[in-house]
């Protein structure tokens, strides 16, 4: 990676997405979203289920060609092809874990490394006779990454035998193997226990400290507000608010989007009112407080 010498204190924009819109037939999943990520930043992307967060990631990484808008990385407009986006310097993990289950931990990282090496992937994986210095270097780099995430002792384990939390970590190591300047994480702590979540938080700080900017989607509010320098909130495909944790946390529209207080005229408002009335009645008749009904179930399955 080349280091840039800057004589001024101006911030370097790593990612610049402007006016990104993604329509699927009649459904506008992402509407005119602008978002930047600067060097050295961790930016959080929050929003209720179905808000368009993953779709937005897919637009950034070339998985989808946005209906409108443009995405630039370090000043260059990105071609909408996943491998070219990776090559340019953006790596990602997926909401649903995508590992090669029957490959070892090390091999999974080597696959991630592939975009940065000219050598054949199979030769690198199988250590064929032509195993070169460059491939040796790839192995060393992969082991370094496994050490960084704390999986060095499991390098030879099959990915499918790893506990869930380790699989999530391995995905991050694989993404880092392409030497990104920007890492996109889609719900990295989904399904993790509080201890694993804390470890992931430390890991993301460590990644940022290595000079990699991070854009992270997450449902866990405590996690995201603790982690992020800036947070943007998507609701129904639109960016509702963006700012520091304090600004976003105290924004009434964000609170409403999360706690389920319907916007005026929002679909489903009547049902919510009905449930609330029923709850109030239950409280009045039994004197007990109603169960927490604000938590919505994850719709995505792993």
Ligand X SMILES: Nc1ncnc2c1ncn2[C@@H]1O[C@H](COP(=O)(O)OP(=O)(O)O)[C@@H](O)[C@H]1O
DSSP string covering 77-94, please? EPPS-HHHHHHHTEEE--
Smallest gap from Cβ 51 to Mg ion, in A, equals 8
Contact between 158 and 104 (Cβ < 8 Å): yes
Strand partners, 46: 233
| Residue span 9-48 as binding mask against ligand X, x where in contact by CB under 6 A, dash where not | ---------------x--x-x-----------------x-
Binding-site string for Mg ion from residue 78 to residue 107, where x marks contact by CB under 5 A and - marks none: -----------------x------------
> Applying CB under 5 A, does 55 fall inside the site for Mg ion?
no
94 or 148: CB nearest ligand X: 94
Cα distance between residue 161 and residue 151, in whole Å? 13
Tell me whether residue 45 or residue 105 sits nearer to ligand X (CB atom). 45
> Would you give the binding string for ligand X spanning residues 151-180, x where CB under 6 A is met?
------------------------------
Q: Map the footprint of ligand X across residues 188-217, applying CB under 6 A.
A: none
Beta bridge mates, 182 = 90, 213
Nearest CA-CA partner of 169 in 181, 152, 115, 178: 152
Instruction: Tell me: does residue 93 bind ligand X (CB under 6 A).
Output: no
254 binds, among ligand X, Mg ion, none (CB under 5 to 8 A by kind): none
Cβ closer to ligand X: 154 or 239? 239
CB 64 within 8 A of CB 90: no
Selected binder of Mg ion within 30, 42, 54, 241 (CB under 5 A): 54
* Residue ranges with strand state E in the chain: 13-24, 27-38, 42-46, 68-73, 76-77, 90-92, 182-186, 213-217, 230-235, 238-243
Bridging pattern class, strands 76-77 and 230-235? unpaired
Contact residues for ligand X, defined by CB under 6 A: 24, 27, 29, 47, 49-55
Residues that bind Mg ion (CB under 5 A): 53-54, 95
């Amino acid at each position: 990676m080349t280091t840039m010498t800057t004589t001024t204190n101006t911030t370097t924009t790593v990612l610049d997405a402007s006016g990104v819109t993604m329509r699927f037939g009649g459904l506008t999943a992402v509407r005119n979203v602008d978002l930047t990520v600067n060097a050295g930043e961790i930016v959080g992307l929050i929003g209720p289920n179905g808000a368009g967060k993953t779709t937005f990631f897919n637009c950034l990484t070339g998985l989808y060609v946005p209906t409108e808008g443009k995405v630039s990385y370090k000043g260059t407009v990105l071609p909408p092809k996943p491998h070219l986006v990776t090559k340019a310097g953006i790596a990602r993990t997926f909401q649903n874990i995508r590992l090669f289950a029957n490959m070892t931990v090390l091999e999974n990282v080597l696959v991630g490394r592939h975009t940065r090496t000219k050598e054949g992937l199979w030769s690198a994986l199988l250590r064929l006779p032509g195993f070169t210095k460059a491939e040796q270097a790839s192995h060393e780099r992969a082991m370094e990454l496994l050490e960084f995430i704390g999986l060095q002792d499991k390098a030879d384990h099959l990915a499918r035998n790893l506990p869930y939390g380790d699989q999530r970590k391995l995905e991050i190591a694989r993404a880092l193997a392409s030497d990104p300047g920007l890492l996109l994480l889609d719900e990295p702590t989904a399904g993790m226990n509080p201890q694993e979540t804390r470890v992931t938080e430390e890991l993301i700080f460590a990644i940022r400290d290595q000079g990699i900017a991070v854009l992270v989607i997450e449902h866990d509010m405590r996690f995201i507000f603790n982690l992020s320098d800036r947070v943007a909130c998507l609701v129904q495909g639109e960016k509702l608010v963006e700012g520091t944790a304090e600004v976003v946390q105290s924004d009434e529209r964000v609170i409403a989007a999360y706690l389920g207080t319907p916007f005026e005229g929002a679909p489903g408002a009547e049902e919510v009112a009905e449930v609330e009335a029923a709850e109030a009645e239950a409280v009045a008749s039994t004197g007990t407080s109603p169960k927490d009904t604000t938590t919505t179930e994850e719709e995505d399955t792993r």
